[in-house]
């Protein structure tokens, strides 16, 4: 059978997308009573929006979708970079993805946990001497240090602030307009030339790197034709490791917010047993908005749920909406870490960092690292330090991408727990 899917009328609904943000797709799905509809976005292009577990399953079928030509220019010029893995398909994508996945071994993840603990330890000493700590700002710097140490990228003390701001501007600017967007483009240029210079030094034999680190493995990665990537694209991929580690600051801010807003659930964190910690951070990743949707293009014509998907169609998978979908989650608008107690892992129903297969598809290779860093953060907040949260505006916007508590989470009276 074939049927007409609902259409969100208008020549270009980009303004509604900007005004409704994370809820744009969910709002239309509710209005139409369907998990699929058509709209026009990003300069009037036709786009099909889909949500739910079945939608994620079809979206991550590499026979049906490709990424080439899916990411808009403003995204490639800020958060992704040109010729990044996010825009690749098929065998060449899989080949390059293997390097990213090789960086996520158990030992490597233990290393990132160790480094993150060490940085928190030093930051607590610094915070003890401060009247007021803006957690989001401090976390970005902490994570820049973590990212560079873990990836093997040398970072001079004098450049910590500037690199922090550059890496943060990359993920803060993709959906922004005006100065916030332009800061992102500038940051893209400066951070690429920083790492590009390093890659050239490494290849010229003027700089040592440690085997197993992201910098080393990407500098010497050869594609399926046996060729090194050019230094520009190599820099793009090194930044594809550094930038998202710094972006975990968004989740750290939301972890602190959840501890504050849901004292009953957070209360269970104080026990010595840390099995609840993982459930708590999983619920933070489900509940709060971060990535709104993923984009791909139809590879070849196919019929799905009565709708003709035509080669070249742009399709958006509602990530935020799928993480709040009623068919998947009981009382999706409740913050309830216990829902993760007896959940069976499914690659398509819990997708804050994408779905499907890590190696073959585009699912985030940094998902385990993100969970580990969040667990260290929660452990630090509840077991390693005392703090107060003075009156402040903790509301987070559903329009701003990425969303953040307005105050950026202010902490006072920080003292180490001994």
Q: Judged by CB under 6 A, does residue 292 bind ligand HEM?
A: no
241 binds ligand HEM (CB under 6 A): yes
Q: How far, in Å, CA of 80 to CA of 236, rounded?
A: 8
Stretch that binds ligand HEM, among 43-51, 124-132, 257-265, 357-365 (CB under 6 A): 357-365
Question: Are 153 and 198 within 8 A, CB to CB?
Answer: yes
| 405 near ligand HEM (CB under 6 A) | no
Is 146 a residue that touches ligand HEM (CB under 6 A)? no
Give Cβ neighbours of residue 416 (< 8 Å, ≥ 6 apart). 124, 125, 128, 384, 385, 386
DSSP string, 40-94: EETTTEEEEEE-SHHHHHHHT-TTTEE-TTTS-HHHIIIII-TT-GGG--HHHHH
When the beta carbons of 95 and 268 are compared against ligand HEM, the nearer one is: 95
Q: For residues 198 and 414, which CB has a smaller minimum distance to ligand HEM in the complex? A: 198
Piece of the chain touching ligand HEM by CB under 6 A; list 4-12, 242-250, 254-262, 270-278: 242-250
Distance CA 84, CA 33 (A): 36
Using Cβ positions, the residue closest to ligand HEM within the complex turns out to be 366
**Does 213 engage in binding with ligand HEM (CB under 6 A)?**
no
Question: Sign of the C-alpha dihedral, residues 190, 196, 200, 202?
Answer: positive
Cα gap 280→256, rounded to integer Å: 11
By CB under 6 A, tell whether 86 contacts ligand HEM: yes
Q: For residues 235 and 192, is the Cβ–Cβ distance under 8 A? A: yes
Question: From the list 235, 248, 266, 371, which residue makes contact with ligand HEM (rule: CB under 6 A)?
Answer: 248
- Residue 370 interacting with ligand HEM (CB under 6 A): yes
Region of 22-30, 50-58, 221-229, 246-254 interacting with ligand HEM (CB under 6 A): 246-254
- Site membership for ligand HEM, residue 369 (CB under 6 A): yes
328 lies in the binding site for ligand HEM (CB under 6 A): no
Among 182, 220, 291, 387, binds ligand HEM (CB under 6 A): 291
362 contacts ligand HEM (rule: CB under 6 A): yes
Length of the chain: 418
Q: Which stretch binds ligand HEM (CB under 6 A): 25-33, 129-137, 247-255, 297-305?
A: 247-255
Write out the two tokens for 168.
Answer: 């943060």
Residue 289 interacts with ligand HEM (CB under 6 A)? no
For residue 366, state whether it binds ligand HEM (rule: CB under 6 A).
yes
Candidate residues 116, 144, 166, 240; the one interacting with ligand HEM per rule CB under 6 A: 240
Phi-psi region of 132 (alpha: psi -120 to 50; beta: other; left: phi over 0): beta
Q: Identify the three-state secondary structure at position 352.
A: strand
Kindly tell me the sign of the dihedral angle through the C-alpha atoms of 204, 207, 211, 212: negative
Q: Name the residues that contact ligand HEM, by CB under 6 A.
A: 85-86, 97, 100, 240-241, 244-245, 247-248, 251, 290-291, 294, 319, 352-354, 362-366, 369-370
């Amino acid at each position: 059978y074939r049927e007409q899917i609902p259409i969100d009328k208008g020549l270009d609904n980009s303004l509604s997308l900007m005004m409704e943000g994370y809820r744009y797709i969910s709002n239309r799905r509710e209005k139409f009573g369907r998990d699929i509809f058509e709209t026009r976005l990003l300069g009037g292009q036709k786009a099909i929006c889909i949500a739910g577990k079945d939608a994620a399953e079809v979206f991550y079928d590499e026979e049906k979708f490709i990424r080439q030509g899916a990411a808009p220019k403003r995204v490639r010029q800020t958060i992704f970079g040109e010729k990044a893995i996010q825009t690749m398909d098929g065998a060449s994508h899989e080949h390059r993805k293997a390097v990213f996945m090789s960086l996520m071994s158990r030992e490597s993840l233990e290393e990132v946990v160790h480094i993150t603990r060490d940085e928190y330890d030093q930051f607590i000493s610094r915070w003890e001497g401060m009247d007021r700590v803006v957690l989001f700002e401090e976390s970005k710097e902490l994570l820049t240090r973590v990212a560079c140490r873990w990836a093997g990228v040398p970072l001079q003390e004098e450049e910590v602030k500037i690199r922090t701001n550059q890496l943060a501007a990359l993920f803060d600017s993709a959906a922004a307009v005006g100065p916030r967007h332009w800061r992102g483009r500038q940051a893209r240029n400066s951070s690429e030339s920083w790492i590009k210079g390093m890659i050239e030094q490494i290849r010229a034999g003027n700089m040592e790197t440690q085997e197993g680190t992201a910098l080393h493995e990407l500098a010497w990665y050869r594609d399926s034709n046996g060729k090194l990537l050019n230094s520009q694209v190599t820099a793009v991929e090194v930044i594809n490791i550094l930038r998202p580690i710094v972006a975990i600051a968004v989740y750290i801010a939301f972890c602190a917010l959840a501890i504050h807003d849901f004292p009953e659930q957070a209360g269970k964190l104080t026990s010595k047993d840390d099995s609840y910690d993982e459930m708590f951070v999983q619920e933070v990743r489900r509940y709060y908005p971060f990535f709104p949707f993923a984009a791909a293009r139809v590879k070849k014509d196919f019929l799905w749920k009565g709708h003709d998907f035509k080669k070249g169609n742009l399709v958006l998978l509602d990530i935020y909406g799928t993480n709040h979908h009623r068919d998947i989650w009981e009382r999706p608008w409740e913050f309830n870490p216990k829902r993760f107690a007896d959940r069976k892992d499914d690659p398509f129903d819990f997708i804050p960092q994408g779905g499907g297969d890590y190696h073959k598809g585009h699912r985030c290779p940094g998902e385990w690292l993100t969970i580990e860093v969040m667990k260290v953060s929660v452990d630090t907040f509840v077991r390693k330090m005392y703090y107060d949260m003075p009156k402040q505006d903790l509301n987070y916007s559903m329009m701003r991408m990425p969303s953040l508590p307005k105050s950026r989470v202010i902490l006072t009276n920080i003292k180490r727990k001994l």
